Each structure stands twice: as structure tokens, then as C-alpha cells.
Amino acid sequence: MLHKLQYYDDKKGAKVSRSTSSSFGVSKLPSGRLNDRKIAQKIYSGEFKIAVYGLGHVGSAMASVWLRAGAHVIGIDKSPTVLNYAREGKTHLPEPGVGDAYGEGIKSGRFVVRDNLERASRESHLKMICVPVLFKDGSADLSTLKEVASEVGKGLKKGDMVAVNPSVPPGTTEDVICKILENKSSGLLVEKDFYLVYNPERIYEGRAIEDIEVRYPAVIAGAGPASTQIGTELYSLIFKKGILTMSSIRAAEAEKLFEGVYRDVNIALSNELAKLCEKLGVDFWEAREAANSQPFCNLHKPGVGVGGACIPVYPQFVIDIAKRLRTDCEIISRSRIMNNSMPAYCVNEAVQLLNESGKKSIANSIVTLLGLSFRGGVSDTRLSPTYDVIQEFLNMGVKEIRIHDPLVAKDSRLLGYPIKISLTTDIHEALQHTDLVFLVADHPEYSLLDQKMLHGVPLYDGRGVLRKSDLFDSNLKTIGVAR
Ligand SMILES: NC(=O)c1ccc[n+]([C@@H]2O[C@H](COP(=O)([O-])OP(=O)(O)OC[C@H]3O[C@@H](n4cnc5c(N)ncnc54)[C@H](O)[C@@H]3O)[C@@H](O)[C@H]2O)c1
């Protein structure tokens, strides 16, 4: 029997439910297999399988969480590299816990890997779509999502559930994906024959499994009451923090975009204040710390740029939607412009620091960039500000660029520049005979840098990692701090 606790979360104003039993007590649902009373047992026995489409940052964590919960999982990807790693019970991503979950899953026979999307749909009951939605030519690029939905639709059976996970413009799941799933090839109707939920992933790379299992509640919205109810029951098996059930898929799609927009706008505000502090002669970081001690203030960190596949992308979805609806998104648009302008601003500051050191001109200088990933602690280089920083230094006529990243050993994109750009994981090699150091990503090891390692070379800190001015004298310039 299912004992369900439900309460209203005052802060979020949405209904949160938490299951205290993993058995499935759903009644009065349309006929079909996923409304079976013994769903949990069937998931653990392997009778009901879970297919995860896209074994990237989100999908690999999702597949791992289901494996850790005891489920039988089919992992699907189009990349031969990703598939080969997974077949060996390994992962191409350094996400904690994923390799162990894959390894144990392969050994116990609970994890299989497929490249045939339709077959995986035929063999599974819950299909989670975790492929990327990027921004292209002024709009969200739904092509991969549509392609995968079409294959899933071909293998869809009565009683199956489809979960859409990427962040998408509101309306995508119902107006685009549902129509693809309901098309002639499946001949099935949502809510009557199969179930559809939207479940935005809210992971922070580097602790994705922990986020899903214990840190955040799952946000779930269904195409109708049956989908919502079954989705809630299913996700209760893995999200210990409970389920936040929303009234519509559109609202859930919007809330996910709002999370990213909030952070982008907040970072833009901090960038503006940090630049002001440089003129004011106030240490932004000290002011921020004090301001954030007040519970209603949560100023984010300023920095050389906003990267990754999420935060710089979602505001653009929103701006595009607003344009179509003929309404303004002035603050969101201005924030994007501010954050996009930061690489040029910071490179200017760094070159000024070099000039003040009086040693060499930028045209005769070797510049070392610290960090290629979009932020510290991860190997993900998607939309990394480092690429914009490289471009700005090229515009300034720099002689040579070296990049250090502790987690990124190669990057074919670096071959496409007009000058040689080397990449190393050895910090001493990166700092040898260099003329200017520029900290781009806040990898934790960079906080250990000191004057001795730098041999007196000027350092521009675009992340506020190093503020020990006594250790650096005049050779350090930190964003948000006057020199
Ligand atoms: N990375 C994050 O931190 C994060 C956080 C929250 C939400 N999201 C959302 O999740 C989505 C996915 O992000 P991600 O970071 O996991 O992306 P990713 O690029 O790391 O992984 C996507 C995976 O899908 C595979 N793939 C691409 N096309 C495919 C196809 N046609 N068939 C099968 N597999 C295919 C790729 O090979 C890749 O392994 C994003 O678009 C974003 O909306 C990401």
C-alpha cells in the first residue's frame, strides 16, 4: 500500500509529495502496464525496463541513479565513443559515481547498451529522453529531440511512459513531442494508451547523482492526471527529497528556464557591481560577502564569462519566445549583453596589467590561460568563456597562447586558430617562460597559486579566486578589486 505525504511548499507554492513506500497504489487509471500495482517490484525484477536516451552529463547520471536503485536500464546513445565506454562499464565523463554504477550494472546484467533507438523503446517501459537542445539561428534547436522522439514513437507500446528531460521552450513537450509520439507509427493516444511527463533535470555537473538522489525534489508535470500520478510514483523511487508536482507541462518547462534566467541576470548584476567597485576602490568580494549575510540577498559571483550548455542558453530561449509573443524581456536581454561583454572587458584589464608591468608588449608576449572548462571542477568545455578570451587575445595580436586545465587533456577545437595554441594538464609547464597569466576557470587547485610559482609574472584573476594581495603585490589584478 502506498502512504503518500503531500504538503504545499510555501516558498515554491507548488504541491510536493513524498512517497513513504515504493509499492504502487494507483487506482482508476487507464488500462496499461505501467499502472500495475506491483510496479516497483517489476522495475527491480527487470520486467519493466528503463531506457535512457543520451548518456551525456544528464543521461549518464539518470541511468546511474536508476541502476543504483536496483532497476534494469538500457542506455542509448549515437556516439560510438560513449557506447564503447558504457559497454565496458566505464564512462567518458568524470562524473562521480557513474563509472561504478555502470560497472556494477554491466557485471550484474542490469545495464545493457544499445545504438538502436527503436529497439530500446520496444524493450523498455519508461523512456527518458536526455539529449541536448541547443540554440541555433535565433531559436531552440529541437532537431535531436524530435529525431529521438520519432524513434521512441516507433517502439512505443500501450502502458509505456515517456519522460522529456531537456530544458525546452514552453509548449515543446505537448505541441511537438506528444504529436510525434502519437503519430501513425505508434497509433497510440496520450493518457489513454501511454503516459507522458516533463521532468526537467536540475543537476550541477560534478555532483549530479547526489543532486538527483538527495539534494533536490523532482519537478514533474504530466500530460494529464494519469501521467502525473504515474510519473510521481515512478520518480518517488529515486528522488528522496520528494516530488514537486506542477499543474501543467508548460509551467514546468517555464520554471526550468526561469532557474537559468535568474542565474544569468544575477551574474550580470554582479558583473555590473564588480566593475563599479573597481572604480570606487571597494573590494566587491568583501561587499558581496557582507551583503549576502542578509537573508534576502544572494549576489552571485562576477566573472570573465558565463559558459556551459545551460545558463547562457536558456535566456536566449526566453528572449526568442518573448519576441514571438511581442513582449519585452529587457532585463534578460541586457544581462546577456553584459555577460557576453565580459571576456573583452577582462582581456583589456589583463593587457593593461601587462603594460603596467613594463616588460613586454602583447604582440611579443606568451599568455597562459588557466582553465578551458566552462567552470572549475568540471571537464565540460561547452560554450566555455575561454574560447572568447582566446579570440580577444588574438584580436590584440598576442604572440602565443598556452592553456592549462587539470581536467581537459585534449581539444580538437584548438587546432582551428591561426596561431598555435597548446594545451597541458601540467601547471609548471604552462607557467614556464610565460609573460602573462589569465585565470579563466575557478578550478580549486588555482587557489594554491603563489608568487613563487609565477616567477613574478603578472596574473589577471577573472574569477576572484586569488585575493591574497600580500602574496602577489602589484602583479595581481582580480575582477571586482581596484588596483
Ligand atoms: N549538463 C547539465 O548540467 C544540465 C543540467 C540541467 C539540464 N540539462 C539539460 O539536459 C540536456 C542534455 O544535456 P547534457 O549536458 O546531458 O548533454 P550532453 O551533450 O552531455 O549529452 C547528450 C548525449 O546525447 C547523445 N545524443 C545526441 N544526439 C543523439 C541521438 N540522436 N540519439 C542518441 N543519443 C544522442 C550525445 O552523444 C551525448 O552523449 C541539455 O540540453 C539541457 O537542456 C543539462
Q: Is 167 in the pocket of ligand 1 (CB under 6 A)?
A: yes
- Looking at the structure, do residues 268 and 297 belong to the same domain, yes or no? yes
- Looking at the structure, do residues 92 and 200 belong to the same domain, yes or no? yes
Kindly report the backbone phi and psi dihedral angles of residue 16, in degrees, each rounded to the nearest multiple of 5, phi listed first. Answer: -115, 130
- Looking at the structure, do residues 182 and 291 belong to the same domain, yes or no? no
Q: Is 58 in the pocket of ligand 1 (CB under 6 A)?
A: yes
Q: CA angle, 164 as apex, 158 and 170 as ends, to 5°?
A: 120
List Cβ neighbours of 182 (8 Å cut-off, separation of 6 or more).
153, 188, 189, 190
From the CA of 314, give the closest atom in ligand 1. 43
Kindly report the backbone phi and psi dihedral angles of residue 30, in degrees, each rounded to the nearest multiple of 5, phi listed first. Answer: -60, 155
Q: What are the pLDDT tens digits along the chain (483 aa)?
A: 222 323 223 344 445 554 433 333 333 444 445 555 578 888 888 889 999 999 999 999 999 999 999 999 999 999 999 999 999 999 988 899 999 999 999 999 999 999 999 999 999 999 999 999 999 998 999 999 999 999 999 999 999 999 999 999 999 999 999 999 998 777 899 999 999 999 999 889 899 999 999 999 999 999 999 999 999 999 999 999 999 999 999 999 999 999 999 999 999 999 999 999 999 999 999 999 999 999 999 999 999 999 999 999 999 999 999 999 999 999 999 999 999 999 999 999 999 999 998 889 999 999 999 999 999 999 999 999 999 999 999 999 999 999 999 999 999 999 999 998 999 999 999 999 999 999 999 999 999 888 788 888 999 999 999 876 555 666 899 999 987
CA torsion 151-317-338-373 (nearest 10°) is -10
Mutate to test the pocket of ligand 1, among 52, 55, 57 (most ligand atoms within 8 A of CB): 57
Contact 53/71 with Cβ under 8 angstroms? no
Q: Is 132 in the pocket of ligand 1 (CB under 6 A)?
A: yes
- Looking at the structure, do residues 341 and 416 belong to the same domain, yes or no? yes
What residue has cell string 519576441?
323
CA pair distance 460, 471, nearest whole angstrom: 14
CA torsion 259-260-261-265 (nearest 10°) is 110
Cell of 443: 578550478
Q: Is 259 in the pocket of ligand 1 (CB under 6 A)?
A: no
- Looking at the structure, do residues 214 and 261 belong to the same domain, yes or no? no
Counting the structural domains of the chain, the total is: 2
Q: Is 137 exposed, middle or buried (0-12, 13-18, 19+ CB in 10 A)?
A: exposed
Three-state SS letters, the chain: CCCEEEEEECCCCEEEEEECCCCCCCCCCCCCCCCCCCHHHHHHHCCCCEEEECCCHHHHHHHHHHHHCCCCEEEECCCHHHHHHHHCCCCCCCCCCHHHHHHHHHHHCCEEEECCHHHHHHHCCEEEECCCCEEECCEEECHHHHHHHHHHHHHCCCCCEEEECCCCCCCHHHHHHHHHHCCCCCCCCECCCEEEEECCCCCCCCCHHHHHHHHCCEEEEECCHHHHHHHHHHHHCCCCCCEEECCCHHHHHHHHHHHHHHHHHHHHHHHHHHHHHHHHCCCHHHHHHHHCCCCCCCCCCCCCCCCCCCCCCHHHHHHHHHHHCCCCCHHHHHHHHHHHHHHHHHHHHHHHHHHHHCCCCHHHCEEEEECCCCCCCCCCCCCCHHHHHHHHHHHCCCCEEEEECCCCCCCHHHHHCCCCEEEECCHHHHHCCCCEEEECCCCHHHHHCCHHHHCCCCEEECCCCCCCHHHHHHHEEECCCCC
Q: Is 54 in the pocket of ligand 1 (CB under 6 A)?
A: yes
- The single-letter code of the amino acid at 341 is S
Of 247, 269, 302, which residue sits at a domain end? 247
CA pair distance 431, 402, nearest whole angstrom: 9
To 10 degrees, what angle do helices 249-280 and 314-324 make? 110
Q: What's the 349 CA to ligand 1 centre distance in angstroms?
A: 35
- Looking at the structure, do residues 139 and 86 belong to the same domain, yes or no? yes
- Give the residue among 78, 84, 151 at the shortest CA–CA distance from 120: 151
CA pair distance 59, 65, nearest whole angstrom: 10
- Looking at the structure, do residues 137 and 240 belong to the same domain, yes or no? yes
- Looking at the structure, do residues 253 and 217 belong to the same domain, yes or no? no
CA pair distance 308, 337, nearest whole angstrom: 17
Q: Is 53 in the pocket of ligand 1 (CB under 6 A)?
A: yes
- Looking at the structure, do residues 134 and 274 belong to the same domain, yes or no? no
From the CA of 147, give the closest atom in ligand 1. 31
137: left (phi over 0), alpha (psi -120 to 50) or beta: left
- Domain with 226, as residue range(s), is 4-247
- Looking at the structure, do residues 173 and 115 belong to the same domain, yes or no? yes
Of 215, 247, 279, which residue sits at a domain end? 247
- Looking at the structure, do residues 69 and 118 belong to the same domain, yes or no? yes
CATH number at residue 126: 3.40.50.720
Q: Is 205 in the pocket of ligand 1 (CB under 6 A)?
A: yes
- Looking at the structure, do residues 85 and 21 belong to the same domain, yes or no? yes
Of 195, 217, 247, which residue sits at a domain end? 247
